[in-house]
């Protein structure tokens, strides 16, 4: 039973680490800030959750799992706020490339800047 849990934990850790590498590659190759933000959320939410679940499967202690759950709740509650602030700052600073946007709902707004 514990061997099975260890194998699952290693698999989740490897997948989470793979997501971090993919985010690094995307940070280098993607053209503008909004697409880089899209890539950056993968290790921040999914990769972090996978790694935390893998860590919890390895530790198997109630106190440790509570701490890991706290980390997960913190990061999932704060990541959307930070991403919203960065995206808003990027759009208002003119960093979003207009030719890459499919829909620009703020294009006609008077107070967008």
Partner 1 sequence: MTVVAIVITTLLAGGAVLALVRIVRGPSILDRIVATDVLLAVIVMSIATEAAFSRDATALPVLAVLSILGFTGAVSVARFAIRRQAPADPPSGRDADRPSSDYQAESIDLPDSLGLPAALDRRPPEPPDRGDSLSPPDRLDRPTEEVR
CA 68, 22, 44 angle in degrees (round to 5)?
Answer: 30
d(CA 19, CA 12): 11
Q: Given candidates 95, 97, 100, 104, which one binds partner 1 under the rule CB under 8 A?
A: 95
Helix (H, G, I), strand (E, B) or coil at 93: coil
Please count the CA atoms within 13 angstroms of the CA of 16 that sit on its side-chain side.
18
Number of residues that bind partner 1 (CB under 8 A): 56
| Under rule CB under 8 A, residue 74 binds partner 1 | yes
Q: Given candidates 99, 105, 108, 111, which one binds partner 1 under the rule CB under 8 A?
A: 111
In the complex with partner 1, the residue whose CB is nearer, 17 or 101, is 17
d(CA 85, CA 88): 5
Q: Is 95 left (phi over 0), alpha (psi -120 to 50) or beta?
A: alpha
| Under rule CB under 8 A, residue 79 binds partner 1 | yes
Q: Given candidates 62, 103, 107, 113, which one binds partner 1 under the rule CB under 8 A?
A: 113
d(CA 24, CA 90): 20
Contacts to partner 1 by CB under 8 A: 9-10, 13-14, 16-18, 20-25, 27-28, 33, 36-37, 40, 43-44, 47-48, 51-52, 54-55, 57-59, 61, 63-64, 67-68, 70-71, 74-75, 78-79, 81-82, 85-86, 88-90, 92-95, 110-113
């Amino acid at each position: 039973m514990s061997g099975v849990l260890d194998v699952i934990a290693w698999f989740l850790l490897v997948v989470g680490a793979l997501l971090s590498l993919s985010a690094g590659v995307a940070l280098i190759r993607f053209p503008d800030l909004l697409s880089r933000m899209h890539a950056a959320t993968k290790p921040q939410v999914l990769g972090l959750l996978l790694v935390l679940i893998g860590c919890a499967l390895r530790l198997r202690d109630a106190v440790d799992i509570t701490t890991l759950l706290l980390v997960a709740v913190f990061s999932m509650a704060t990541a959307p706020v930070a991403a919203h602030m960065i995206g808003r700052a990027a759009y208002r600073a003119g960093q979003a490339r207009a030719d890459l946007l499919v829909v620009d709902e703020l294009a006609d707004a008077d107070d967008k800047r």
